[in-house]
Chain A
């Protein structure tokens, strides 16, 4: 597949490296020539100096045959412009834009363009490490739902695990016990050593914390 990367910063050059290694043909666009210094010496794809929303530059980078484009410059607005033109003018199927501003990311998502809201994700990761809270195994692109792994607190031993759930907000995805795991709570009664995997919406995290610490009688 031919892939166009708009922006040759750390993310763009990193993607160029891994996509090339996987055998894809890659074209990189950046407005600064010196940005290409970040590309590995063995990079065999093409380099284009210019703006990612300039039609001529996109044509030169192979937009008419590209299967995907990732817009990962440091500017939200440039990224959304490049992504929309790729999609709407050149009909490129897989288009993704990195957007720092979470609210703008949600708005652009409605244009049918996949956005990755890096700020939400990054603040979340850092905050969790600072506060020592649970780290999440997975967070969706908008940062509104995450999957967390949790050692079952002792207060929960002897209680049905489905009481931990709250429909629409907290879902028990899986329970690991003695070297095996199962999907859902399976009607299990909690016991020592259980590890629960929970899918939780951002707004329900404090509530989950409370339930975990205080046990099933807390609500």
Chain B
């Protein structure tokens, strides 16, 4: 996944390292050239850009037009809102995550400014970025003792599972669908629960059947 992070403060740098360590292509945008020079040597597996992320041209140069996720993580709420707006409106970035510094400004962080997810607890940022996988791919949410994992998959409109009931789906024995989230409501699944496009299917699986489950749910 290609991720751009605006703001190389403690928060931005931390998640940049975290995501780079997880194998993602990370671009860190910081307007203070001094900060970039200071951190470049210690944060090497990240692409640095000494630019102001509030400027369209700078974002364009940094290659925002094909990032999967934009994280506006500066220490300034005004900047984070404008960065989010530019990312969503000008570059159609699929997932925009913004950090809220002052709780009083939380109400502003929504779709009006292009924000998909607003975060006021910085340590959650990495998890939220990782969750940002495209529809139709299986995401591991949690690993449990004994090799079991909680996974999530959002059904694309052309998923073979759309229109089928869970009974018809024939879920493998070592997997269990534990919840279906539809329009932000959690549905406790039964055999006759019929799946629809856009549903987030949450399942508990062991390693061997993860691929089988993915094949049932995705193209």
Contacts and interface: CB of A to CB of B under 8 A. Distances in A.
On whether A and B touch (CB less than 8 Å), the answer reads yes
B39 to A, nearest CB: 24
Nearest to B55: A101
Nearest to B76: A77
Nearest to A85: B108
Given A53-B108, A81-B108, A88-B112, A104 B81 contact: no
A80 B114 CA distance: 14
Interface in B97-150: 104-105, 107-108, 112
Interface in A39-86: 53-55, 75-78, 80-81, 84-85
Given A53-B78, A53-B108, A77 B54 contact: yes
A107 interface: yes
A76 B81 CA distance: 12
B180 interface: no
B55 A77 contact: no
Interface stretch (B62-70, B82-90, B189-197): B82-90
A75 B52 CA distance: 14
A75 B78 contact: yes
B78 A77 contact: yes
A77 B79 contact: yes
A54 B104 contact: yes
Nearest to B82: A77
A107 B56 contact: yes
Contacts of A76: 54, 82
A76 B108 CA distance: 17
Contacts of B56: 103-104, 107
Taking each of A76, A77, A80, which has the highest tally of chain B beta carbons within 10 Å of its own beta carbon? A77
B80 to A, nearest CB: 9
Contacts of B86: 107
Contacts of B78: 53, 75, 77-78, 81
Contacts of B211: none
Contacts of A88: 112
A80 B55 contact: no
Given A77-B79, A85-B108, A104-B54, 11 more contacts: A53-B78, A75-B78, A77-B54, A77-B76, A77-B78, A78-B78, A81-B81, A84-B112, A103-B57, A104-B56, A107-B86
Interface of A: 53-55, 75-78, 80-81, 84-85, 88, 101, 103-104, 107
Interface of B: 54-57, 76, 78-79, 81-82, 86, 89-90, 104-105, 107-108, 112
14 contacts: A53-B78, A53-B105, A55-B107, A76-B54, A76-B82, A77-B79, A77-B81, A77-B82, A81-B81, A101-B54, A101-B55, A104-B54, A107-B56, A107-B86
